[in-house]
Each structure stands twice: as C-alpha cells, then as structure tokens.
Amino acid sequence: MPSNSTLRDWDHAHLWHPFTALADWNATDPLIIERGEGSYLIDTDGRRYLDGVSSLWCNVHGHRHPALDEALHAQIDRMAHSTLLGLTHPPAIELARNLVRRAPTGLTRVFFSDDGATAVEVALKMAFQYFRQKNSPEPNRTRFLALGGAYHGDTLGDVSVGGVDRFHAMFRPLLFPTIRAPIPHCYRCPLGLERTSCAFACLTEVERKLEEHAGGVAAIVVEPLVQGAAGMIVHPEGYLRGLRELSRRHGALLIADEVAVGFGRTGSLFACEQEGVAPDFLCLAKGLTGGYLPLAATLTTDDVFNAFYGTAADAKTFYHGHTYGGNPLGAAVALASLRVFDDEQTLENLRPKVARLRERLDEFAALPHVGHVRQRGFIAGVELVADKAAKTSFPTTDQVGARVCRKARDFGLLIRPLGDVLVIMPPLSISRGELDEMLDVMIRCVRIVTEGAGG
C-alpha cells in the first residue's frame, strides 16, 4: 500500500469529498481509515477509533461481523451481479419476502434501488403516477407536503421536498414546488408555542395546508419520529399517528422515509411501529445491509401496485430503475443482517443500552453550554448553545460543534455534528462499556471547547 503521505497527496489531488469545505479539507492531514473491527475503525497507523456515528448511520451489527462476512463470501462465489430488468435472482426474491414479513401491515410490494435518495425518489414518482392510473383517477393530485427541516436525499425530487436551506437553497430554480408544514420542534417551536399547551398546533397547520390544497396533494412525506439532518429533531409522541390520520382523511398517501431511522435505531425494527402506523410507502436503505453495501428498498401496498399492473399495451409501466437495484451481494448481506437481528436478539439487547444512554444524557443536560438533549431509542442529539437560558446559538463561524468533534479524535472517537448539534448514533452492537467510553469523551470535549476546561 502507498505511504500515508502519498495517499494524502493523491486524496488532495483527486478526491472530491461530499458535504466538505474543500479548502479546509486540503489544509488538513486527512485521517485515513484502513479497516474496521466491531465498534472500531482503525487508521493506517493502527490507531483505533470508536465509530460513534455508525459510518454515517448505516452500520448496525459492527464492522466485520462474521455472519455478514460469510454471506458476502458465499454470494460472491455464486454471482456478483445480475439485473432485475427482465430477470430475477434468489437473494432479491428472498429479501423482498423477508422485508414484507417484517414490515407494517399492508406493505406487500418491494422495489429495489441503491441508496436512500433513490428509495424516496421512487416513492415520489410512484405516488404521482398512481393518481393518474388508479381506478378512479385524480390527476390534480400533483403536489407533495413535507416538513420544515426535512431531508430526504440529494436527487432533485428529494431536494424539492427537502427543507434544509444550507443544502438545498442553491438548487431552488431546478425544483418543483412543495407545500411546507412547520417542523414539530418543541425546543425551538416555529409557531412560538409550548408543548404543554399547544394542542398539537403543528398538526392543525398540516390540516390547514391540506384543506387549502384540497384534492391536490398526492402524498405527505415524513421522516418518522426523528428528523435527522435538521438536528436530530425528535417529534412529539402522537405526531406521526396524527399525520397518518390526516393523510387518510384528505385522500393523500403517506411516504415514510425510514432511511436513517429504520432497522432498530429508534428501538423498534421500524420507527412506524411505535405509533401503530402503516404508511403507503416505506423507504429503507442505510442499515438495510448492516452497513456493508449500497442497497435500498421502497415498500408499498397492493393498492399502489395494482395501479401499475397491466401489459405493455396498457401503458401503465413504471419506467424507473437502477443498474444495481437488488444487487445479489447486497441482498445476500441484507438477509444475513435480518437473521442476526433474530439470532442475537438485537432489539431486546438494545433496551438496556437505550436506558443507559438516557441516564448519561442527563450529564450533558447539566453542562452550561448544552441547551437541549433529545433522544428516541438509540438516537440522540446534544444541542450546544452560547446562552442556555435564552437558547442563543453560537455564531456559525465559531464552528463549535465541528471543534468538539475534531477534539474527540484526540481521544479515539469519531463523531460528526449537524451544525452545533452533536449526533449520537453508534452501532446497535456497541457494548455498554464502549457506550460509556464514547459519552465520557463527548462530555470531556464539550467542556474543553465550550468552557476552556483542561484537555
């Protein structure tokens, strides 16, 4: 392998890193990760780092899990890839069946693609086409309702329903218009209300928008329970169920984007389960393969599927597809990951770790520059503020969240911020000792950066 200095020079000369300020990147000596082991990533110098964000929220059972490694090896001995256009193969068939058996009631059809953005893009296009082809067509249903602070991916359809200005504002001239409802963010309520007395005004606003655009909304799009890129915003209990009721009342479909929150992150296999919600579309990726390979799935109902059912002459075909959609290697590893959930009782063993995280978050809340901590299952966000009483944010130029994360590397922890919100989303398989180590480092680094405490 080339030396670290050679790899660094090649990286700076050729790689374009996503979501990265390029001049800042080229001014640094990059951390080069060579391998993984359990909850740890290991760099080219052999130094170990706890993977505090599950390699961007996708690693579930840890790195180099023997069952997933074995599934990948076994499948590559058979076939690396074959298309689902005009052909099929056992791993995709078995995975579709397995997902349907575990998904909320009524989700019976599976369309494979290759990442979270494409899973949502598929749902948007299917919902649009559905209303033109169902038994009683409603061609005026062309609009989508999405939440403030929404993030559903980076393809143009997803950006259109997205609501994170720092990611999306540049591309506004390219986008279709979206109906925007207020983000249900109780710490910084956009309506200026308090949860104890608001009577779910954010849901009332959704209904008002649906009435204003009566007969024109194809679907409501939501990240169930937790909005990730908005800053790990945890929705109030009952909000998702309320959206489902409103979608039915007003004839719109419900698209549940569980790309980030699916596969145990919120404490149940799928977030929708926690409020007894069965959406019309369930979008999955990230943890689907346990963090091994790109694979995504859009699950939907027989009702939606039947609107596309016909011969070529009927002109009902869904003309959308991805070269690697349903890739056999990814499907085989995804099947192995689902078996690990069963064999290792992953969700049952997660409960005490969720409780431990809840206990330790109280320590963050006591810090003078932590304005808010929020948790749903094994997902948490720690919001750093300049003034706790006034909820005043630090100036963006101070890069406080990024500085905390950089300091954490000195203590062997990899985490990423969302602005000044520190994200806690380790692999579900992390041990209690490793979890405590991670939280100890985070608390220490918050104090170093915000209080000038000794390092």
One domain, residues 126 and 247: yes
One domain, residues 334 and 353: no
How many C-beta atoms lie closer than 10 Å to residue 69's C-beta?
Answer: 14
pLDDT at site 453: 75
Helix axes 201-212, 239-249, angle to 10 degrees: 20
Instruction: Confirm whether 194 is domain-assigned.
Output: yes
One domain, residues 394 and 432: yes
What are residue 300's DSSP bridge partners? Answer: 109, 281
DSSP-derived 3-state class of residue 123? helix
pLDDT at site 455: 62
One domain, residues 216 and 99: yes
Close Cβ partners of 25 (under 8 Å, ≥ 6 residues apart): 12, 17
Instruction: Confirm whether 10 is domain-assigned.
Output: no
CATH of the domain at 173: 3.40.640.10
- Containing 157, the helix (H) or strand (E) segment is helix 156-161
DSSP-derived 3-state class of residue 252? coil
CA torsion 295→118→103→69, rounded to 10°? Answer: 10
One domain, residues 129 and 234: yes
Instruction: Confirm whether 382 is domain-assigned.
Output: yes
- What tens-digit pLDDT sequence spans the chain (455 residues)? 899 999 999 999 999 999 999 999 999 999 999 999 999 999 999 999 999 999 999 999 999 999 999 999 999 999 999 999 999 999 999 999 999 999 999 999 999 999 999 999 999 999 999 999 999 999 999 999 999 999 999 999 999 999 999 888 999 999 999 999 999 999 999 999 999 999 899 999 999 999 999 999 999 999 999 999 999 999 999 999 999 999 999 999 999 999 999 999 999 999 999 999 999 999 999 999 999 999 999 999 999 999 999 999 999 999 999 999 999 999 999 999 999 999 999 999 999 999 999 999 999 999 999 999 999 999 999 999 999 999 999 999 999 999 999 999 999 999 999 999 999 999 999 999 999 999 999 999 999 999 987 76
pLDDT at site 1: 85
Report the largest interatomic distance among the alpha carbons of the chain, rounded to a whole angstrom: 73
Domain that holds residue 378: 31-61+345-451
Q: What are 29's two structure tokens?
A: 């000596």
Q: Please classify residue 406 by burial: count the beta carbons closer than 10 Å to its beta carbon, then call 0-12 exposed, 13-18 middle and 19+ buried.
A: middle
Q: Which of 164, 221, 208 is nearest to 419 (CA)?
A: 164
State the total domains in the chain. 2
pLDDT at site 67: 98
One domain, residues 336 and 352: no
Per-residue burial over 184-217, b = 16 or more CB atoms within 10 Å of its CB, e = otherwise: bbbeebeeeeeeeebebbbbebbbebbeebeebb
pLDDT at site 452: 87
One domain, residues 313 and 395: no
Task: Say if residues 288 and 340 touch (Cβ distance below 8 Å).
Answer: no
Angle formed at CA 129 by CA 319 and CA 303, multiple of 5 degrees: 105
Instruction: Confirm whether 203 is domain-assigned.
Output: yes
How many C-beta atoms lie closer than 10 Å to residue 363's C-beta?
Answer: 14
CATH of the domain at 37: 3.90.1150.10
Per-residue burial over 31-51, b = 16 or more CB atoms within 10 Å of its CB, e = otherwise: eeeeebebbbbebbeeeebbb
Cα(177)–Cα(163) distance, integer angstroms: 12
Relative to beta strand 217-222, strand 143-147 is: parallel
Q: What are 421's two structure tokens?
A: 């919100």
One domain, residues 367 and 436: yes
Instruction: Confirm whether 15 is domain-assigned.
Output: no
